[in-house]
């Protein structure tokens, strides 16, 4: 599949906000809402020229994304993957399995079981081959 740099930026931003606000990634997607997700995706080519922390802070404030208690980074016993790495995992997965528009597919994936599997940095799931991750998603379980 072709690399979608706008989707990569959006997924990386979701990961960044999730870590900063200690929220599950599906909670971040829900808090951002359809309009903001589409706006970020549509203007990612402009937004990526700003530091991601600045863009994240603006959306955290604008969408009133409060602090939670989910901290998969602190729970990690090994090297923590950076938010760009996890953004790429989601970008590839969405690109590989999308059947509807990009944002609808993104929301469906972040609301599914696989988001928890990707967020478990104590497992090796997030760095498995993209074809394997996509097939796990299609089958509804880790194979």
pLDDT band of 53, cuts 50, 70, 90: very high
| Mean pLDDT on 50-69 | 97
Q: Compute the residue count for the chain.
A: 143
Q: What proportion of the chain, given as a percentage, has pLDDT over 90?
A: 86
DSSP letters for 9-78:
HHHHHHHHHHHHHT--HHHHHHHHHHHHHHHHHHTHHHHTTS-HHHHHHHHHHHTT----S--TTTT-SS
Task: Collapse the DSSP code of 102 into the 3-class scheme (helix H, G, I; strand E, B; otherwise coil) and give the result.
Answer: helix
User: What tokens appear for 21 in the block?
Assistant: 């606000």
pLDDT of residue 95: 95
Q: Is the pLDDT of residue 76 over 90?
A: no
Q: With 80 as the cut, is the pLDDT of residue 62 above it?
A: yes
Query: Does the pLDDT of residue 1 top 70, yes or no?
Result: no
What integer best gives the mean pLDDT of the chain? 94
Q: Is the pLDDT of residue 111 over 70?
A: yes
Q: What is the pLDDT of residues 12-47, one digit of tens each?
A: 999 999 999 999 999 999 999 999 999 999 999 999
Q: How far apart (Å, rounded) are the C-alpha atoms in residues 19 and 133?
A: 22
Q: Which pTM does this prediction carry?
A: 0.95
Tokens of 3: 């690399």
Q: Residue 10 corresponds to which tokens in the numbers above?
A: 């959006």
């Amino acid at each position: 599949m072709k690399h979608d740099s706008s989707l990569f930026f959006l997924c990386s931003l979701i990961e960044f906000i999730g870590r900063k606000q200690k929220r599950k990634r599906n909670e971040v997607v829900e808090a951002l809402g359809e309009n903001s997700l589409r706006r970020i995706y549509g203007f990612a080519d402009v937004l990526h020229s700003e530091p991601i922390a600045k863009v994240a802070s603006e959306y955290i404030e604008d969408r009133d994304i409060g602090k939670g208690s989910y901290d998969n980074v602190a729970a990690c016993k090994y090297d923590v993957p950076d938010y760009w790495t996890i953004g790429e995992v989601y970008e590839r997965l969405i690109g590989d399995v999308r059947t509807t528009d990009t944002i609808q597919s993104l929301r469906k994936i972040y609301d599914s079981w696989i988001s928890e599997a990707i967020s478990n940095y104590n497992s090796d799931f997030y760095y498995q081959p993209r074809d394997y991750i996509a097939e796990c998603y299609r089958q509804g379980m880790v194979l």
